[in-house]
Amino acid sequence: MKFFIDTADLKEIEEAASWGVLAGVTTNPSLYARIGGKLADFSTHIQRICALVDGPVSAEAVGTSRNDIVREARELAALAANVAVKIPIGIEGLAATRVLANEGIPVNVTLVFSVPQAIMAARAGARYISPFIGRFDDIGEDGLAQIADISDAVANYDWRGVGIGDEEPEIIAASIRSVQHVAQVALLGIDIATVPFNILEKCLTHPLTDQGIAAFLNDWEKVLQA
């Protein structure tokens, strides 16, 4: 499983990139608003993020008609070679995804909550498909069971030639709320998890690791005093 970070915060991205495991970034309008982002700075901000990571950086189109989405997506894709355009699933989004995939622009189809949505996104040429786990759990459904079903359904088919060249669509586990979510999507073999910075940090901590380090340092002091 590859790790993406789910944030628009440059400091968080830079820090996570320094750990040597970061394969991409996902942003969305809410994450950009959360850092106090302004429209005038948006393009530059996406370019800064793209310069911090080698992998794909999802930047979301906010248009609601296929023509507006395609226009916006082309502008976003022109910002950097590693931009993936994020587009919410729906009729207009699907139509735009097909146009963009035909142009070789990678699309991350977002806000996916069902198997049919995921399969139709893949059929439209999506490079990435993002089922949201936490938000599905929030309404009393089972986000992990849903992403497992989506993964199985996508794996039923050969997608070569459907999207961009022979690239298979990759599933991004999104709306991750806990270390347990990270563990569970890895056990399911999901391609990518996009994880908020605080949960990435938590993934690296364990009380027994902390206790073990403290004991080793304590014993090493004895060696130094001997």
Catalytic positions, written as ranges: 86
CB of 120 to ligand E4P, least distance (A): 18
- Residue 132 binds to ligand E4P (criterion: CB under 6 A): yes
- Residue 194 binds to ligand E4P (criterion: CB under 6 A): yes
- Residue 202 binds to ligand E4P (criterion: CB under 6 A): no
x/- map, 134-163, ligand E4P, by CB under 6 A: xx----------------------------
User: How many other CB atoms are there within 10 angstroms of residue 22's CB atom?
Assistant: 22
- Residue 7 binds to ligand E4P (criterion: CB under 6 A): no
Query: 219: buried, middle or exposed (CB in 10 Å: 19+, 13-18, 0-12)?
Result: exposed
Backbone angles phi, psi at 166, to 5 degrees: -100, 15
x/- map, 173-192, ligand E4P, by CB under 6 A: -xx-----------------
Instruction: Assess contact for 189 and 151: CB atoms under 8 A.
Output: yes
Taking alpha carbons only, the member of 161, 181, 84 closest to residue 129 is 84
- Residue 117 binds to ligand E4P (criterion: CB under 6 A): no
Q: Whose Cβ is closer to ligand E4P: residue 185's or residue 220's?
A: 185
Residues of this chain, 30-69, that bind ligand E4P according to CB under 6 A:
none
Backbone angles phi, psi at 201, to 5 degrees: -60, -45
User: How many other CB atoms are there within 10 angstroms of residue 187's CB atom?
Assistant: 11
> What 8-state DSSP symbol labels residue 146?
H
Which positions lie near ligand E4P, rule CB under 6 A? 6, 26, 28, 110, 130, 132, 134-135, 174-175, 194
